[in-house]
Structure 1
Amino acid sequence: MSLDTTPPWDDVQNYVDGEWRRPSNDGQDVVDPATGETLARVGFSSGDDVDAAVDAGREAFESWQSTPVEERIQPLFALKELLEAHQDELAEVLVREHGKTFPEAKGELRRGIENVEVACGVPSMMQAGHLPNAAPGIDETAVRKPLGVFAAITPFNFPGMIPLWFLPYAVATGNAFVLKPSEQDPVVAQRLFELIDEAGFPDGVVQLVHGSVDTVNALLDHDGIEGASFVGSTPVAEHVYERAAASGKRVQAQGGAKNHIVVTETADLDFAAKKTVSSACACGGERCLANDVVVVEEGVYEEFVDRVLEEARAQTVGYGLDDDTDIGALITPDHEARVRDLIATGVDEGADLLLDGRDVDVEGYEGGNFLGPTVFGDVDPEMTIAREEIFGPVMGLMAVEDVDEAIEVLNRSDFGNAASLFTASGADAKKVRHEADVGNLGVNAGTAAPMAFFHFGGRKDSFFGDLHAQGEDMIHFYTDKTVYIERWPDA
């Protein structure tokens, strides 16, 4: 098969019980953020639509849970091959509806494929342990069992990758799965499900429902849903956590972030500046791992600022499918306006605006949602731009006396998603490793993104729950243990 990459596309549909179905309620246009062109229209699912998806999942679960695990992973092997064969087409669709660059889109999909690969190892990952002679004449065995139908509500910023943080593990462990992707860029999810349909999963094992807040709440409240996963902003993550938990569901809800880079006097400043700008500006800064607060030891602060400005000025803002583009469009005009407002707030609160990206002009794409790299100096930790997630290509730099003060600054944040340290000092690296209150920490790495076989950390207001996405945590989230205690008196 080939995937349609030339818009406008047909209206987006749900995928329920192996069939494509139009959502019951009207929804909204899907718009190319770089051109303003309407690409498709997505309807919103009603309560009845959600019921149909969950009911199909529950029916499929009855047989899927007892399907041998070796058989359950075969469609995942097929899906991996299909994703790799259609990676370029998926990436082009992703660029058109999200705005990021083509290399960024391909990289995102690659990280999603890695999760499919890890989930193919479920036959080993689900093993839970056996102890002969746990007591006189008694053997005990722990067995992991799937629970039913799980839902995931995923965000606009990584529409190709984040669904694959959850779906492969859910179905490989024997559950059925319902995805509710972002209504901002739902076409990539539909294209993923076209490949899922071809991969050979039994009808009802995987479902796709589109919609907005009402659809989300219908999933969170549904008696047929055993657990829910979410990635998005902190206020919504907290809502999802509380609402799903209130109805007795397992829940993991990843929220927002305010990540820091620490640069010491021993760091390779050229390398650190390059990685700092990439971290803050890649994907237009619309990443929960974007490091946009840069804390620099005062002895190299001025020199490092100069190098960051040089690197930032070299970035090309443009259409994501153009080869020379480094920074693409932001997702919506409203989001662009919000980022502009935060830049204005930084100026009003006294930060030194060293590079202003608000006047960027992208020839031929005057209707796009573009912002250029924006750099503030002399930022105070109490300023709004140092405390609130911006989700745009904006970074703020501040000087500190030493690593101890840098750690104090980053630990003061309400968020605890990630941080990066640039240093040549093992002692400094050890100190930050032990004292930084974050879930993902990179040393001489601009973006602390764990591989698929490690969980994706996050703490404080960046995460609600106790089991994270990716890796072994997903096996624990999607299964429960039964302990068998056996005695054979005549043996």
Structure 2
Amino acid sequence: MNVLLSTKFVRSSRYSRLAPFSSLLSRTISTQTTTKLFINGEFIESQASEWIDVRNPATQEVVTRVPKSTPHELNEAAHSAQHAFSEWRRTSVLTRQRKMLDLQHAIRNNIDRLAESIVAEQGKVLSDARGDVLRGLQVVESMAGITEYLLGHKIEVSADMDTYTVREPLGVVAGICPFNFPAMIPLWMFPVALATGNTCLLKPSERDPGAAMILAELCDQVGIPRGVLNIVHGSHDTVNFLTADKRVRAVSFVGSDKAGKYIYERATQNGKRCQANLGAKNHAVVLPDADREHAINAIVGAAFGAAGQRCMALSVAVFVGDTIDWIPEIIERAKKLRVDGGMEQGADLGPMITPEALKRAESLIQSAIDEGANVLLDGRGYKVAKYPNGNFLGPTVIDDASSSMQCYQQEIFGPVLTCVHAKTLDDALALVNANRYGNGASVFTRSGACARRFQTEVEAGQVGINVPIPVPLPMFSFTGNKGSFLGDTNFYGRSGVSFYTQLKTITSHWRHQDAQAAEERASVHMPTHS
């Protein structure tokens, strides 16, 4: 099933597997290799004329260079995936299940290597980077249960006649990934696609592709056949190819509103399935009867962890009644968080991904001041002595915000907590439900009645009760809604399996008489199923 690639592809003379990322922190562009393409089971040196520098967010040193894949390279990747599909779809479900078991074992043995890649390219602290890998690993482990997910239904609809359903793969599918979870989001996509019998074209974020490249290497090591997973790189032109090429049947995307709406519209206009997770503005409603210690610790961790660069970050706290008196304590605990390089012992949050992301977050903090809010803790201008060039923003707390302010309306995607006040649970629910996003919402309370009312009436796809970041484990699905999601089938779990498969219904008629003697005369009447 090997595809002979064009002679225009040049394999790197250097061993093309990625070097351990602990060594990348001290390298510069003069010595660093480029990021390869992964096409038909080979790491290929791109012939691109345009390249993107990937910089360590703490130092601004170039870690690697990422190619903008050429049209020829993109076509070769799609051809490889299409060719591989004809064989991969015919592998037994038990074979695909075995590969998922082998892959999860390989990932578990390489957690530190993957995490170090994430620290070097994305800026997360090491403990959070490990969590990034582990949450993706859980999806791979859930795909070891693919046999259960693919079970169909069967019923005898009349004498000697059965109707049953089977789930079949779509073909070549594509995944377009964001920068904030370099391991977890790719693992939301390609393991589910592969376990269900599809082949995949994956585009990691051009800002931090290293983890995805390591995952490709591990897929190769465990014997996933050539062409089943291909990795391409780039930006706008690569996205346009994946959303338009006729060989691609479905597109998965996680990222910003603007990009997501463009990808969803372009993919669906070209007749493809599309699932797109977009922006968020997640709220935590704090009721007066909540456990004070638990609520404060949960809010601080969920608001500032990962430098706020999570689509499920808790970015708005709604303080009901006299819980506004808890804000000073939140500020004091936020001040104790250590902002540092990701590999530093005891670091709580690292730098933001780029100087541009930092500048945008700082401008939204300033807009809050300009519009009349109070910035009680201002993290702008935060300096880390060892990393003077880092994209650091310290924990920031904005109080007295209103729903009309930019700091509330926009997803800041930084370590910024926006505080609003509400008199009652009714007011808090009205505020949350009026927001255009619907990824997640949490309530902190000791009242079962209040919790039940909140979970019933809140308009958010993922609800936490005394849980600050209610991201479901893979036996469920990621169920953001409203303006946070485009499409009708969610990521991973049973929804993910449904997205990457299509139902086929078969009605078969095996007459018992045929087991005894052949019918002598054909029937010309419409079957009545009686």
Provide the residue aligned with 2:350 in structure 1.
328
Q: 5+ unaligned residues in a row in structure 2: which ranges?
A: 1-16, 516-530
Q: Match for 1:281: what amino acid?
A: F
Q: Would you say 1:445 and 2:458 are equivalent positions? A: no
Q: Would you say 1:84 and 2:108 are equivalent positions? A: yes
Provide the residue aligned with 2:7 in structure 1.
none
Q: Match for 2:56: what amino acid?
A: D
Specify the SS of the correspondent of 2:315: strand
Provide the residue aligned with 2:185 in structure 1.
162
Q: Match for 1:186: what amino acid?
A: P
CA distance in 2 between partners of 1:55 and 1:249 (Å): 18
Provide the residue aligned with 1:272 in structure 2.
295
Q: Would you say 1:283 and 2:306 are equivalent positions? A: yes
Specify the SS of the correspondent of 2:106: helix
Provide the residue aligned with 1:67 in structure 2.
91
Specify the SS of the correspondent of 1:350: coil
Provide the residue aligned with 1:372 in structure 2.
394
| Counterpart contact for 1:23–1:210, Cα < 8 Å | no
Superimposed CA distance per residue, residues 170-224 of structure 1 (whole angstroms, 9 cap, x where no aligned partner): 1111110110010001111111111111111011101000111110111100000
**TM-score computed with the length of structure 1 as normaliser:** 0.98
Provide the residue aligned with 1:344 in structure 2.
366
Q: Would you say 1:456 and 2:478 are equivalent positions? A: yes
Provide the residue aligned with 2:132 in structure 1.
108
Task: Give how far 1:2 is off.
Answer: 9.0
Q: Match for 1:421: what amino acid?
A: V
Sequence identity (%) = 38
Provide the residue aligned with 2:150 in structure 1.
126
| Counterpart contact for 2:381–2:392, Cα < 8 Å | no
| Counterpart contact for 1:76–1:199, Cα < 8 Å | no
Specify the SS of the correspondent of 2:153: strand
Task: Give how far 1:3 is off.
Answer: 5.2
CA distance in 1 between partners of 2:254 and 2:213 (Å): 19
Specify the SS of the correspondent of 1:120: helix
Superimposed CA distance per residue, residues 140-189 of structure 1 (whole angstroms, 9 cap, x where no aligned partner): 11011111000000000001110000111111111101100100011111
Superimposed CA distance per residue, residues 450-478 of structure 1 (whole angstroms, 9 cap, x where no aligned partner): 10111101111100001111100111111
Superimposed CA distance per residue, residues 27-74 of structure 1 (whole angstroms, 9 cap, x where no aligned partner): 111100001111111111122211111111111100111111101222
Task: Give how far 1:487 is off.
Answer: 1.2
Specify the SS of the correspondent of 1:40: strand
Task: Give how far 1:136 is off.
Answer: 3.5
Provide the residue aligned with 1:20 in structure 2.
43
Q: 5+ unaligned residues in a row in structure 1: which ranges?
A: none
Provide the residue aligned with 1:418 in structure 2.
440
State the number of aligned residues.
Answer: 489
Equivalent residue in structure 2 for 1:483, among 479, 484, 505: 505
Q: Highest Rg: 1 or 2? A: 2
CA distance in 2 between partners of 1:111 and 1:247 (Å): 32
CA distance in 2 between partners of 1:438 and 1:109 (Å): 26
Specify the SS of the correspondent of 1:273: helix
Alignment of 1:37-56 (within 5 A): 37-56=61-80
Provide the residue aligned with 1:135 in structure 2.
158
Q: Match for 2:358: what amino acid?
A: E
CA distance in 2 between partners of 1:443 and 1:37 (Å): 42
Deviates more, 1:227-236 or 1:40-49: 40-49
Provide the residue aligned with 1:309 in structure 2.
331
Specify the SS of the correspondent of 2:152: strand
Deviation beyond 6 Å, 4+ runs, structure 1 = none
CA distance in 2 between partners of 1:151 and 1:290 (Å): 26
Equivalent residue in structure 1 for 2:239, among 199, 216, 220: 216
Specify the SS of the correspondent of 1:452: coil
